[in-house]
Amino acid sequence: MAVLTLPGWWRSRISRYRLVGARCKDCGRTHYPPRPACPYCGSRSLEPVELPRDGVLESYTVIYSSPGDHRLDSPVILGLVNLGPTRVIAELTDVTPEELRTGMPVEAVIRRVDEQGETGIIAYAVKFRPKLGVSHGVGGGPEKA
């Protein structure tokens, strides 16, 4: 992982903590994280847009072998989450691989993602977890608890 710098982390705090993406004024598509130009049409005419914090897990993968200092964090679960206006790839938390089901409702939460020693930066970012108060049983999809 790249070394975090305080200025770099500070500049990205809004999109990292508030789940803010960008909507292209030319093609109308939304993307996350925000970039200086639309990844779909190349336009630089963008506006910030607050993304929904609730979504649906469309797909996921489980990584059992993490590099370097993150070996103790294994397994890492990455999911493709449909938020409506866009899809995001994010880490899933508070769940085991056996509990995951495509189609399950998930919600955004803030979790620690890195720290640089006792006096360095402690970095937080958005991750997703199964939505509280919803049954995630096997079979016909999610049901209200």
Alpha carbons 95 and 81: distance in angstroms, whole number = 15
pLDDT for 127: 94
The mean pLDDT value for 101-122 works out to 85
Residue 109 binned pLDDT confidence (cut-offs 50, 70, 90): very high
Q: What is the pLDDT of residues 58-72, one digit of tens each?
A: 999 999 887 766 556
Residue 143 banded pLDDT, cuts 50, 70, 90: very low
Mean pLDDT of 34-47: 95
- Residue 68's alpha-carbon distances to 1, 86, 93, 121, in angstroms, are 9, 32, 20, 18
Looking at residue 7, its pLDDT comes to 80
Does the predicted TM-score (pTM) go above 0.75? Answer: yes
pLDDT for res 139: 42
